């Protein structure tokens, strides 16, 4: 059996040396898990485009089938809170409670679970607070942007026994499960390289610029979270994706989705090392954005596979996602309809003929999966191990970008160092 297949089977069996989830109690015995007839009260922490446009919309879609409602909302901007309250009253029949600070919402006894869609630098803190409060948590990616905060939050999740779902929803796609089964079968052979190029004509953070936000409407100190001592700036607040101290750019935002999908499909674990280069190459203007608009990260495994992720924002041509093996090629530029063939494989043996659609394995989507697991206590599709894995990869790239050094992951210490 080749080394990659061994890694896949170990991951599938839960034999991770990184983190071990506690054994969940049954729904009837776990005090934090609601029974099938109990209404689940949900808190939304972060009422921006993701919190309202994705999470509240999906909860509205599922409110009857999963017996849920949004009972509380939280945002540092009063305008966003009011908008979320109005929408929730329309969707769920009553206005939710409103909070400026996540810690206050998490103390509410009227909340069973939370969806966290705050800026990246708040994710580990909000996940830790959720775990300590006994609230099940759907947490957006990247879950962590520094190793100390990441490990503390993961330890809190393990100690609490809450259901935690990382917001890497692509792994819940039917085709992702089909790809996983295909690689597990061995028909694709040994993985040689996984690569992505995802480009655009303009950085995604420009679409969020709102210079009209007023200081008196914002809890600026709560937003900063000790990460920066900047004076209030409506552009920084609205387009925080473009400022490195709050979001480290395309690798943790776009690259994490791609890597998590690839890790789920192939069963590969955390890479052994990473190098990353980039910078602000094109978009030098009055906004003084500091997140890189041109970046390339390379990850290596000691036993051979390489994984690369590349983004640039001046030309949107030549986007692709490929997994190369000794027996063929999988193209997953289309997340929903990936294909596989024997194309290019040096050891192709006739077992793969033509270009084939990856078989889809129908199952609940990412939001349904989380709600099901909150009720049952089962492990969701993107558990804390997945959150840890994608976060370590993101942190390795960011640290290499910052230092110009190759970063190495030590699985025994669950930490990274320059080598």
pLDDT tens for each residue of 256-290: 999 999 999 999 999 999 999 999 999 999 999 99
- Residues 406 and 296: their CA atoms lie apart, in Å, by 13
Q: What is the pLDDT of residue 229?
A: 95
Q: Is 346 exposed, middle or buried (0-12, 13-18, 19+ CB in 10 A)?
A: exposed
- Residues 308 and 323: their CA atoms lie apart, in Å, by 11
328: left (phi over 0), alpha (psi -120 to 50) or beta: left
Q: What is the pLDDT of residue 33?
A: 54
Query: pTM to 2 decimals?
Result: 0.92
Please answer whether residues 127 and 90 qualify as being in contact, where contact means their C-beta atoms are separated by less than 8 angstroms: no
Q: What is the pLDDT of residue 27?
A: 29
Please answer whether residues 387 and 145 qualify as being in contact, where contact means their C-beta atoms are separated by less than 8 angstroms: no
Residue 302 is given by DSSP the state T
- Residues 67 and 40: their CA atoms lie apart, in Å, by 6
**Rounded to the nearest 10 degrees, how much is the dihedral formed by the CA atoms of 188, 190, 191, 193?**
-110
Please answer whether residues 191 and 377 qualify as being in contact, where contact means their C-beta atoms are separated by less than 8 angstroms: no
Q: How many residues does the chain have?
A: 419
Q: What is the pLDDT of residue 144?
A: 98
Q: Which domains does the chain have, with CATH numbers?
A: 17-169+368-382 (3.40.50.720), 172-364+393-418 (3.30.360.10)
Q: What is the pLDDT of residue 35?
A: 55
Please report, for residues 155, 197, 199, 397, the alpha-carbon distance to residue 367 in angstroms, rounded to integers and kept in the order given: 24, 28, 28, 29
Please answer whether residues 325 and 191 qualify as being in contact, where contact means their C-beta atoms are separated by less than 8 angstroms: yes
Q: What are 197's two structure tokens? A: 């190029």
Q: What is the pLDDT of residue 36?
A: 56
Q: What is the pLDDT of residue 187?
A: 97
Low-confidence ranges of the chain (pLDDT < 70): 1-37
């Amino acid at each position: 059996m080749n080394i990659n297949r061994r890694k896949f089977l170990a991951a599938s069996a839960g034999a991770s040396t990184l983190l071990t989830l506690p054994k969940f109690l049954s729904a009837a015995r776990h005090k934090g898990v609601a029974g099938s007839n109990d209404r689940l009260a949900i808190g939304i922490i972060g009422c921006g485009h993701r919190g309202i446009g994705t999470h509240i919309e999906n909860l509205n879609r599922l409110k009857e089938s999963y017996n849920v409602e949004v009972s509380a909302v939280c945002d540092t901007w009063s305008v966003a809170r009011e908008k979320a309250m109005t929408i929730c009253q329309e969707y769920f029949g009553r206005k939710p409670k409103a909070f400026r600070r996540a810690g206050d919402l998490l103390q509410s006894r009227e909340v069973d679970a939370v969806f966290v869609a705050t800026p990246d630098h708040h994710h580990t803190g909000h996940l830790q607070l959720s775990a300590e409060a006994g609230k099940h948590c759907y947490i957006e990616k990247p879950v962590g942007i520094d190793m100390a905060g990441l490990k503390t939050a993961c330890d809190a999740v393990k100690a609490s026994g809450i259901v935690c779902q990382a917001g890497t929803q692509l792994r819940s796609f039917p085709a992702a499960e089909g790809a996983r089964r295909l690689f597990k079968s061995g028909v694709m052979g040994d993985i040689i390289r996984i690569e992505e190029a995802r480009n655009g004509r303009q950085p995604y953070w420009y679409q969020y610029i709102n210079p009209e936000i007023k200081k008196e409407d914002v809890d600026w100190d709560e937003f900063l979270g000790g990460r920066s001592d900047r004076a209030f700036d409506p552009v920084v607040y609205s387009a925080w994706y473009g400022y490195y101290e709050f979001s480290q750019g395309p690798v943790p935002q776009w690259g994490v989705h791609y890597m998590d999908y690839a890790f789920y499909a192939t069963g590969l674990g955390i890479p052994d090392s990473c190098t990353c280069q980039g910078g602000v190459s094109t978009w030098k203007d009055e906004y003084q954005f500091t997140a890189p608009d041109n970046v390339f990260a390379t990850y290596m495994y000691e036993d051979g596979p390489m994984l690369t992720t590349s983004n640039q924002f001046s030309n949107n041509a030549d986007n692709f996602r490929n997994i190369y093996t000794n027996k063929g090629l999988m193209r997953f530029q289309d997340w929903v309809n990936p294909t596989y063939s024997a194309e290019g494989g040096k050891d192709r043996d006739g077992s793969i003929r033509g270009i084939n659609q990856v078989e889809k394995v129908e199952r609940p989507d990412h939001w349904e999966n989380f709600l099901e697991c909150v009720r049952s206590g089962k492990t969701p599709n993107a558990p804390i191990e997945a959150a840890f894995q994608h976060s370590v990869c993101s942190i390795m790239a960011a640290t290499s970008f910052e230092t110009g050094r190759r970063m190495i992951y030590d699985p025994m210490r669950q930490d990274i160092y320059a080598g």
